[in-house]
Amino acid sequence: MKIKTIITLFIFTILFGCKTQQSQSESTISEIKTIQIPVREYSVLTVLWQQHAAEYRALAYQAYNTAQLQLDNILRNRKNYEKPLAIVTDIDETVLNNSPYNGKMIELNEEYSNARWIEWGKEKKAEIVPGSLDFFKYAASKGVEIFYISNRLLVQKSETIENMQKLGLPFLDDAHFLLRETVSGKEPRRLQVQKTHEIIMLLGDNLSDFSEVFDNQNTETRNFKVDSLKAAFGNKYIVLPNPMYGDWETKGILEGKYNWTASQKDSIRHSKIISY
């Protein structure tokens, strides 16, 4: 009788232990499933890089040093242009550093919104991208006009100009300041400048800042077109570094699917990683 009792207790102990372990495992799995990854967690390293990496500053200086060398070459070998010379430049991440806005999205765990973007613009605290002020002042001193073509919203015009005036940038009148009105594509505004000026150089952090051939293209096409136009980069086209956002992600990695959930976007980003 004693032996049967001992065996029964032994079996009960084992079964109870297994049940407890199973319950703990299920609880752990449940906890893992409920962990929510912050919606901007994927961008933390990119914002840190732009704000702290000396390599970011070095690349920006390199871009603007190259731009000045090219400008000198153009002016030295000047053709008989019938129209005044002009440089077309983007603003955000080309002239103004907006990484604090991206930092705010991380802090508040939220995606892009016009309201938050407008709020940041009203602060008028965007700092200059390294090298840009010296280059644009130099170009202006050589008689070259600067046209700012940006997809900032039209309602942001006054505070954007004030921000740039505080930094000392040239050509901030209405004629040289072309923000987005109806469409985000920049080609119509470039053509508008081209009617009266000879565009000798374009600067930007996004391929669509240079030509409409890059508009609304997937990753494969974007890479193909860059390869086919490789001679233009460092000559007529000067690219600034921006790892935080751009068509490379929205049109490329995310394939233009703006309405995907944060979880879906996270999955597609991981699916595009190349490993070995």
CB 110 within 8 A of CB 141: no
Q: Please state the φ and ψ torsions of residue 95, each to the nearest 5 degrees.
A: -115, -45
Q: What is the mean pLDDT of each run of 10 residues along the chain (276 residues)?
A: 49 47 48 67 98 99 99 91 97 99 97 96 98 99 98 97 99 97 93 98 99 97 98 99 97 91 92 97
Scanning the chain, the segments in alpha helix (DSSP H) are: 2-34, 44-52, 54-76, 99-108, 114-123, 132-141, 157-167, 187-196, 219-228, 247, 262-271
pLDDT at residue 4, rounded to an integer: 53
Q: CA-to-CA distance for 248 and 260, rounded, in angstroms?
A: 17
Give the residue range(s) of CATH 3.40.50.1000 domains in the chain. 48-245
pLDDT at residue 3, rounded to an integer: 55
pLDDT at residue 7, rounded to an integer: 46
The full DSSP string for 221-252 is: HHHHHHHHTGGGBTTTEEEPP--S-SHIIIII
CATH number for the region 48-245 comes to: 3.40.50.1000
pLDDT at residue 34, rounded to an integer: 46
pLDDT at residue 183, rounded to an integer: 84
Closest listed residue to residue 210, CA positions, set 243, 228, 232, 193: 232
Residue 23, classified by CB atoms within 10 Å of its CB into exposed (0-12), middle (13-18) or buried (19+), is: exposed
